[in-house]
Amino acid sequence: FAAYVPFYPDCATTFIGDTDVDKPIRIFGGTPDDYNPIARCKTYAERLKAAGRDVVITEYPNAQHAFDSPTMPTTPILSEKSQSVRHCTIREEQGGVLISVTSGQPFTYKDACVEYGPHLGHDPEATRQAKEAVTAFVRSVFKLN
């Protein structure tokens, strides 16, 4: 990989060695995203920066989860059956086991912190801006004119 460009990532899990990256990271997400809140990624970004890593978060004030999907309506919809770990804190332990920090037990989607019903929606302006930002970033990474 030359770089990492996650859109609305799940930042609820702390992985062993997740700051051991040697490529730049650009994270894109929306302020109102209640599926994978961008606020959770800010904590991860601070850990990355403290480790001397190149990370930038771009936050869009009106963008829901899946904001770049033109198949979504522009008015946010409730995704009743979708599960979100937005209020979970998960940590990887030795052997790759994911632990719920609250219970100290292996994480499952039956944990009390897992919630249903996040919102999804397309944001044409955030999509346009993100496309421009990613294009410029990729051009800089690959040193294209």
Radius of gyration (C-alpha) of the chain in whole angstroms: 16
Distances (CA, A) of 125 to 112, 129, 131: 36, 6, 10
Mean pLDDT computed over 95-113: 97
| Distance separating alpha carbons of residues 98 and 15, to the nearest angstrom | 9
| Distance separating alpha carbons of residues 16 and 70, to the nearest angstrom | 35
What is the reported pLDDT for 1? 80
Helix (H) / strand (E) element for 93: namely strand 90-93
> pTM score, two decimals?
0.94
